[in-house]
Amino acid sequence: MGMKAKELVIRAGIDLDALLKELNSAYCDEWLAYYQYWIGAKVAEGKMFALIAQELAEHAGEELEHAEKLAKRIIELGGTPAISPDLWLKDSTCGYLTPENPDAMHLLAQNIQGERCAIEVYEKLLNMVAGKDPITEHLVREILEDELEHEQDLEDLHNSCNASAKTCDPKPKAGRK
């Protein structure tokens, strides 16, 4: 914990307990998103599953990075990131969409839903800290940007795979990560 980190947040008029609760909930969401993508990439089958699985695996890695960054900030602010997987579902906002149907197009649709929820979560967090806590604000903006990009990547893939029965032709990612 950083004494000053905590002090700055409190002095800015932020309810620290409420902020830690939201950060921890987002942290739980990230672990669930990580696993949903990771296992989705393993079980995917059907049309263009290899291409879709590759995208899901890439996103999995980025969700784990988000969890890492959130854990660091939670600890700086004197909180404790969820210490047991039991808490991931309990404290999550977006929950977990089990990939019971391994069809790659179905997995894409599930993950698009998850990204849309994540975007709402980070928008809410941004509203809590904007103009008050620059460190958390920077972190939340960074993650929000990634989640918006994730949604767009999956939508592009979903649309291009839907459009053709035989091939997926994702838009070139020039200019995007």
Binding site for Fe ion (CB under 5 A): 30, 63, 66, 147, 150
Q: Are 119 and 144 in contact (CB under 8 A)?
A: yes
Q: Which of 147, 108, 110 is nearest to 30 (CA)?
A: 147
Amino acid identity at 94: C
- Smaller CB distance to Fe ion: residue 8 or 64? 64
Q: Tell the smallest beta-carbon distance from residue 30 to Fe ion (Å).
A: 5
The CB-of-115 to Fe ion minimum distance in angstroms stands at: 5
Exposure class string for 160-174: b at 16+ Cβ within 10 A, else e: bbeeeeeebebeeee
CB of 166 to Fe ion, least distance (A): 28
User: DSSP states of 79-114 as a string?
Assistant: -----SHHHHHHH-SS------S-BHHHHHHHHHHH
Give 133 or 151: the residue with its C-beta nearer to Fe ion. 151
* Nearer of residues 11 and 42 to Fe ion, judged by Cβ: 42
Shortest spacing between CB 163 and Fe ion, in angstroms: 24
Q: Which one, 10 or 148, has the nearer CB to Fe ion? A: 148
